[in-house]
């Protein structure tokens, strides 16, 4: 049985991926995660008893620990999720994004190459392509044009992957996915933030005119796509992943309020995110044609199930909404913050 190193496995998508891998039963998993504010071992509760699962608390920038982990555990493949992932935080402080997303990826690539890892999947994002007008969709040939410090740091990491493949023939594969939603998403991101606020009858802060478009995909479909790429993708290739499921933010927030039976009066327009990308849409034709991937979760079902998950897991939500996240939220949205949303948020 092969052993896969998953970085960032305690985060939103990483924890869903680790669960999916363990359920498939074909591999052992080493979850390497620094447990930043976004990492939460509760996302993996139950897995700790699985003998095929091991957790290493570590930073991808810690070269010695990365090397030790890669060389001592019989690891043959790496799936790299670990990142600073929130655009707003990258606007407030880009340095952590440069450090983790670029330098951390370089360290992982270099140590994985030296350890003769056989497959390295870089989990990237559609944000590296920049913003679209009213028509069209990103293909793998769309030029990189990142707009936020987050997107620029991910694009830089993608280019390092490209260089490691070109220069060293290191078997790197890059995936670029659109916006994910589903269980265990940290409530700084649009969907869980809006659900959490609505549950407390707090204002729902919609940036700008709310007409920005995102292309939503259920996290389980993203994880299946990443795993198909890991198993059957061609080294050196890029695979776009997306659900053909575009929605304006304002419409999405309205849908959430309808599902929750709350009034749309909770919607509050706040100043726009600086440099806010207007529209994302993914053309997933290549992964469909090459690997036979299709999304399985319809948006209506997925969104309703996601809302239900947050309703059923309010203890989880409360725990992550306390502590450091609270301070961040107050700074971002509270009185005097960039998006002063009124009511003394938190």
- Using CB under 6 A, list all residues that contact ligand DAU: 85-87, 125-127, 178-179, 189-190, 193, 205-207, 212, 214, 249, 273, 280
Closest CA to 303 of 196, 222, 218: 218
Among 22, 30, 33, 90, binds ligand NAD (CB under 6 A): 33
Nearer to ligand NAD, 10 or 193 (CB): 10
Task: Name the residue number minimizing CB distance to ligand DAU.
Answer: 125
Active-site residue, selected from the candidate residues 33, 77, 126, 227: 126
The residues near 39 (Cβ < 8 Å, ≥ 6 apart) are 8, 10, 11, 33
Residue count of the chain: 346
Nearer to ligand NAD, 38 or 172 (CB): 38
212 contact choice in ligand NAD, ligand DAU, none (CB below 5 to 8 Å, kind-dependent) = ligand DAU
Q: According to DSSP H, which parts of the chain are helical?
A: 12-24, 63-72, 87-92, 95-97, 105-114, 149-168, 190-199, 219-232, 249-260, 285-291, 299-312, 314-321, 324-333
Map 245-262 to HEC letters.
Answer: CEEEHHHHHHHHHHHHCC
Under rule CB under 6 A, residue 212 binds ligand NAD: no
**Distance in Å, CB of 81 to ligand NAD, minimum:** 4
Nearer to ligand DAU, 106 or 127 (CB): 127
SS3 of residue 113 by DSSP? helix
The residues near 289 (Cβ < 8 Å, ≥ 6 apart) are none
Residues 135-194 that bind ligand NAD (CB under 6 A): 154, 177, 179-180, 186
Tokens linked to 242: 């997306």
Under rule CB under 6 A, residue 13 binds ligand NAD: yes
CA-to-CA distance for 245 and 217, rounded, in angstroms? Answer: 7
**Radius of gyration of the chain measured on its C-alpha atoms:** 19
Judged by CB under 6 A, the stretch of 65-73, 79-87, 139-147, 253-261 that binds ligand NAD is 79-87
| 189-192 contacts at long range (C-beta below 8 A, 24 or more positions apart) | 189/12, 189/86, 190/214, 190/249, 190/252, 190/253, 191/252, 191/256, 191/303, 191/306, 192/310, 192/317
Q: What are phi and psi of 271, to 5 degrees?
A: -55, 145
Under rule CB under 6 A, residue 242 binds ligand NAD: no
CA-to-CA distance for 183 and 242, rounded, in angstroms? Answer: 18
Judged by CB under 6 A, the stretch of 23-31, 53-61, 282-290, 291-299 that binds ligand NAD is 53-61
Among 19, 29, 44, 81, binds ligand NAD (CB under 6 A): 81
Is 126 annotated in the active site? yes
Under rule CB under 6 A, residue 243 binds ligand NAD: no
Active-site residue, selected from the candidate residues 129, 150, 310, 328: 150
Percent of the chain that is helix, strand, coil (3-state, to 5)? 45, 20, 35
SS3 of residue 176 by DSSP? strand
Identify any residues that bridge with 123 across adjacent strands, giving them in sequence order: 175
Nearer to ligand NAD, 179 or 245 (CB): 179
Nearer to ligand DAU, 32 or 280 (CB): 280
Is 53 annotated in the active site? no
CA-to-CA distance for 10 and 48, rounded, in angstroms? Answer: 12
Nearer to ligand DAU, 65 or 145 (CB): 145
Task: Name the residue number minimizing CB distance to ligand NAD.
Answer: 11
Size, binding site for ligand NAD by CB under 6 A: 30
**Distance in Å, CB of 340 to ligand DAU, minimum:** 13
**Distance in Å, CB of 322 to ligand NAD, minimum:** 17
Is 150 annotated in the active site? yes
Among 55, 77, 104, 205, binds ligand NAD (CB under 6 A): 104
Which residue ranges make up the site for ligand NAD (CB under 6 A)?
Answer: 7-8, 10-14, 33-36, 38-39, 59-61, 81-85, 100, 104, 123, 125, 154, 177, 179-180, 186
């Amino acid at each position: 049985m092969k052993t896969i190193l998953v970085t960032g496995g305690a985060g939103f998508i990483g924890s869903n991926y680790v669960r999916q891998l363990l359920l498939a039963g074909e591999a052992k998993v080493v979850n390497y995660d620094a447990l930043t504010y976004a990492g939460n071992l509760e996302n993996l509760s139950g897995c700790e008893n699985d003998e095929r699962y091991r957790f290493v608390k570590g930073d991808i920038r810690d070269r010695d620990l990365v090397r030790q982990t890669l060389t001592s555990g019989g690891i043959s493949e790496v799936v790299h999720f670990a990142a600073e992932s929130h655009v707003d935080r990258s606007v407030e402080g880009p340095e952590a994004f440069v450090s983790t997303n670029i330098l951390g990826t370089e360290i992982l690539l270099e140590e994985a190459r030296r350890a003769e890892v056989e497959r390295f999947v870089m989990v990237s994002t559609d944000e590296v392509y920049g913003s679209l007008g009213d028509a069209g969709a990103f293909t793998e040939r769309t030029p990189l044009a990142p707009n936020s410090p987050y997107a620029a740091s991910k694009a830089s990491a993608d280019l390092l992957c490209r260089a490691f493949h070109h220069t060293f023939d290191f078997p790197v594969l890059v995936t670029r996915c659109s916006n994910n939603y589903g269980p265990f998403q940290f409530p700084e991101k649009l969907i869980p933030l809006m659900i959490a606020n609505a549950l407390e009858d707090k204002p729902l802060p919609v940036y700008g005119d709310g007409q920005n478009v995102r292309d939503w995909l259920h996290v389980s479909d993203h994880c299946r796509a990443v795993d198909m790429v890991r198993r059957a993708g061609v080294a050196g290739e890029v695979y776009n992943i997306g659900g053909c499921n575009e929605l304006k933010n304002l419409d999405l927030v309205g849908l959430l309020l309808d599902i929750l039976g709350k009034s749309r009066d909770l919607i509050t327009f706040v100043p726009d995110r600086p440099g806010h990308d207007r529209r994302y849409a993914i053309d997933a034709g290549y992964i469909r044609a090459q690997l036979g991937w299709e999304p399985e979760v319809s948006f209506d079902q997925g969104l309703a199930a996601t809302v239900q998950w947050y309703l059923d897991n309010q203890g989880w939500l409360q725990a992550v909404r306390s502590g450091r996240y609270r301070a961040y939220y107050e700074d971002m949205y509270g009185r005097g913050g960039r998006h002063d949303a009124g009511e003394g948020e938190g």
